[in-house]
Structures are given as C-alpha cells and as structure tokens.
Structure 1
Amino acid sequence: MIIITRVKDGDNLIKIVIPGRPISKSNFKLHNVHGQAWMPSKGKHSKYLAYENMVAGHINRQYQGEAIEENLITILKLYFPDKRIGDLHNYPKSICDGIEKSGIIKNDKQLKPVLLFDFIDKENPRVEIELYPISEYDIKYDVFKKGC
C-alpha cells in the first residue's frame, strides 16, 4: 500500500508501505574465485532481486507522478516478525535499490539523509518508507540523556 499525502497546499510527502519481512542485500551475495561479489538472478539466492522488484512494483502501482530529481529526506521504519534481525545496516540498500528501480527517483544517491528505525510486529512485518523533498522540508534531531 502506498499513501501519497499532501500535508498542506504545495507540501508533499510520500509514504510507502511494503508488506512482509525486510530483506538484506548482504545475505544473498555470492563471490567468484577472484573474490568479486555478484547477485544471482536464479535459485535460492535470487530472493534479493525478487524483493527489490516487489518494492518497485508496489511503488509503480500507486505513484503516477514524474520522477523526483531532488534529494529526499528518507525515513525507513523496519518492522520484523521477531528478534532475528541480523545486521540492521544491510537493509537500506535493498530498499533504496527498489525505490530507484521503480523510477520514482533517478538515483538512490538522492535518498539522503536516511534515518533507520527497527521495530517488532509479529502480526504485520513490513517496511514503511517516508520521503520528504529537501526543498520543502528540513530535519532536526535531538540526542538527550534519559531522565532529563
């Protein structure tokens, strides 16, 4: 499901919900005899490409606008079915590759900054993606000591 939300007149954000457990790119890389990594398109290791295509497909079914050319503040919320998460930092690549493959952006280098959060949702594992045009939005964050 994709929700394209107009917050105020002229202010746009895109919220994309991809159902299912997120898939990490690093889990599906194979290496040749020279140590070079490659992604197989067939067999048990091709799940990554299927996931990337699924992300792109969900976006393409809902987003009918032009390709976005500016940078986008990107928030990724990953909802896992259990505590077996693995290395959290490997998930954004598969998601960002799927966003690029959809054609909504020209290059996944436009997705910056990227904020990454993880949660457990046994009933509804998913990825929630929020994209905010850098020309309309700014980002502010605070780190503070607990109890203060």
Structure 2
Amino acid sequence: MIKFTIPGRPLSKSNFKLTNINGQAWMPRAGKHSKYVAYENMIAGYINQQYMGPQLDIQLITVLKLYFPDKRMGDLHNYPKSICDGIEKSGIITNDKLLRPVLLFDFVDKDNPRVEIELYDFNEYKIEYSITPIK
C-alpha cells in the first residue's frame, strides 16, 4: 500500500471548466480559472515529495478520503477527477485509467482539511463490501 496526504481543501475540476463557442470544454492555464491547474500541480508536488519508488504501470485500487473544513462539499463525484489527474501528473503512474476501482469517502475536519490517497496493487488485494440494514 502506498499512502499520500495532500493538505488543504479538495478542489473539484468541474468548477473551473470553461466552454468555447462550439460547446467544447477546456481548462485555462492563466487567470482566475487557473486555480485547478495549480491544484493539480500541488498534488503532483506533494506526491513527488512522499514517493521515491518506481513508476507504476499496474491497476491500482484507489481509496480517496476527502476531509473538508465544513459541510459545504459540493458534488463529491467531481473531486476524483482532479485528484487522479494530479496523481498522473506526478509521474508515479503512466495513466490515470490505472486507478480503478476508486472508493470515495468524505469527512469534515475543520482544523485539518486534506486529501488522503491510498493505492493498492489490484493483483495483491481484493475488495469486499457489504450493505446491511441498521437495526
């Protein structure tokens, strides 16, 4: 298992997309919308500080734990894209399509907002889950 911690409030990719006159979405690299690119680069930087191993070219079970400073989280399904793009940008994986399945959890930690990333070799670990009624 490989674990990374990225400090700060998680950012969603969907908040920073612009659309051109043909309806195509794009991510600006400058101006007020460039926060996303900076966030991706920040994730890559923290991962490169914390990981000194070889580049991975294997399928990875990915666990994302998002810690927000308050309950204003927005649409949680938009966060994995920005985080997975940052992981790929770090260079520790060849392509973010290797990050599957992705398990997403959200928490509130007003004093320490962050993202915790856990990566497990798909060939060495298995996932089990159950859904049971509350009694």
TM class by shorter-chain length?
over 0.9
Where structure 1 has 5 or more consecutive residues not aligned to the other structure, the ranges are 1-12
Q: State yes or no: 1:64 paired with 2:25.
A: no
What corresponds to 2:106 in structure 1?
118
The structural deviation recorded for 1:62 is 2.2
2:33: which partner in 1?
Answer: 45
- Aligned-partner residue type, residue 134 of structure 1: F
1:100 and 2:92 are equivalent in the alignment:
no
Give 3-state SS (helix, strand or coil) of 1:75's partner.
Answer: strand
Q: Say yes or no: does 1:89 pair with 2:77.
A: yes
Partner of 2:62: 74
Q: Please say if 1:131 is aligned against 2:119.
A: yes
Secondary structure (helix, strand or coil) at the match of 1:129 reads: strand
CA RMSD of aligned residues (A): 0.6
SS at match of 1:83: coil
With CA pairs under 8 Å and 6+ residues apart, which has the higher RCO, 1 or 2?
2
Percent identity at matched positions? 72
How many residues get paired?
135
Give the structure 1 partner of residue 7 of structure 2.
19
Q: Structure 2 length normalisation: TM-score?
A: 0.98
Shift of the alpha carbon at 1:90? 0.1
**Bigger Cα displacement from structure 2, 22-31 vs 63-72:** 63-72
Q: What per-residue deviation string (whole Å, max 9, x for no partner) do you get for residues 24-71 of structure 1?
A: 000000001111100000111000000000000001112111111110
**Structure with the bigger percentage of strand:** 1
Over 3 Å off, 4+ runs: none
Q: Using the alignment, how far apart are the partners of 2:53 and 2:117 within structure 1?
A: 17
